């Protein structure tokens, strides 16, 4: 059985929000019986990164050497249910919204040929993808500041992955949207039925407080369900 480890990064995050991050991590660990490694400012020993988006490329440096597969997920995701059986594939991710695929597909031929643009909020990757993470880290830390399509780091990651797929270096599988259920905080966008992970996407200024509130409500609901089960079996 392939040894798998979760990874979460939270760089330059306000101190008061770290408690929420660890609640998300604990919940994922309990649901999936899986260790999650945390990458923060102290783990990186510097603050040169402006966003956790770039810290994800350190992921393979923070898991034990015997880990063969990682599940990276963003801190603005809420685990709802245990994940199903993981795909036996080198790289897997759920699709991004269609309008983003269209814009970035027009800019990057390899994305258009793939016919898909994945969201990097949750990805599953095996050791064979480690060179891609290293290339992405190099590109992000040596950026020239040139203009690029929006969601630049995500677009570059899509390009690297699909280029590796075309070269026969790795295999790729599209995940159902229920694995990474995007909810745009500034629009009405309900998640698919029975999602595994909800992703609170968008630039809402109160996002972290909303996620904390959602986790609290969910925890209270679970506690009430447990109490009812105890009484029903009493």
> What pLDDT is recorded for position 146?
47
Running DSSP on this structure, what letter comes out for residue 46? S
Q: Which of 86-90, 94-98, 211-215 tops mean pLDDT?
A: 86-90
Query: Coil, strand or helix: which one is 126?
Result: strand
Helices (H), the chain: 18-32, 41-44, 52-55, 98-107, 109-114, 130-141, 152-166, 207-232
What integer is the mean pLDDT of 111-136?
95
pLDDT of residue 192: 62
Question: Each residue of 109-130: b (16+ CB within 10 Å) or e?
Answer: ebbbebebbbbbbbbbbbeebe
Residue 70 near residue 59, CB atoms below 8 Å: yes
Residue 195: per-residue pLDDT: 87
Residue of higher predicted confidence among 227 and 167: 167
- Residue 76 has what pLDDT? 84
Return the CATH number of 4-205, one of 1.20.140.10, 3.90.550.10, 3.90.1150.10, 2.60.420.10. Answer: 3.90.550.10
| 23 pLDDT more than 80 | yes
Which helix (H) or strand (E) segment holds residue 125: the answer is strand 118-126
CA 165 to chain centre: 20
Q: Is the pLDDT of residue 182 over 60?
A: yes
Indicate the angle between helix axes 207-232 and 18-32, nearest 10 degrees: 40
Structure tokens at 219: 């925890």
Is 149 a residue whose pLDDT tops 60?
Answer: no
Q: What is the pLDDT of residues 108-117, one digit of tens each?
A: 999 999 999 9
The whole-number average pLDDT for the span 18-42 is: 89
pLDDT on residue 155: 87
- 91-104: pLDDT as tens digits: 999 999 888 898 88
């Amino acid at each position: 059985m392939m040894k798998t480890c979760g990874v979460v990064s939270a760089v330059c995050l306000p101190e008061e929000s770290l408690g929420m991050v660890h609640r998300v991590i604990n919940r994922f660990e309990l649901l999936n019986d899986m260790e999650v490694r945390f990458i923060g400012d102290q783990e990186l020993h510097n603050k040169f990164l402006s966003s956790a988006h770039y810290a994800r490329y350190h992921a393979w440096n923070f898991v034990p050497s015997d880990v063969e597969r990682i599940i990276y997920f963003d801190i603005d995701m809420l685990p709802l249910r245990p994940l199903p059986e993981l795909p036996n594939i080198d790289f897997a991710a759920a699709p991004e919204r269609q309008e983003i695929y269209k814009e970035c597909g027009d800019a990057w031929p390899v994305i258009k040929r793939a016919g898909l643009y994945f969201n990097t909020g949750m990805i599953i990757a095996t050791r064979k993808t480690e060179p891609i993470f290293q290339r992405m880290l190099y590109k992000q830390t040596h950026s020239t500041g040139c203009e690029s399509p929006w969601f630049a780091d995500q677009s570059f990651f899509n390009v690297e992955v699909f280029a590796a797929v075309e070269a026969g270096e790795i295999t790729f599988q599209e995940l159902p949207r229920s694995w990474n259920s995007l909810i745009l905080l500034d629009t009405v966008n309900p998640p698919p039925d029975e999602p595994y992970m909800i992703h609170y996407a968008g630039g809402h200024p109160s996002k972290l407080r909303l996620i904390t509130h959602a986790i609290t409500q969910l925890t209270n609901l679970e506690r009430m369900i447990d109490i009812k089960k105890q009484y029903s079996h009493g």
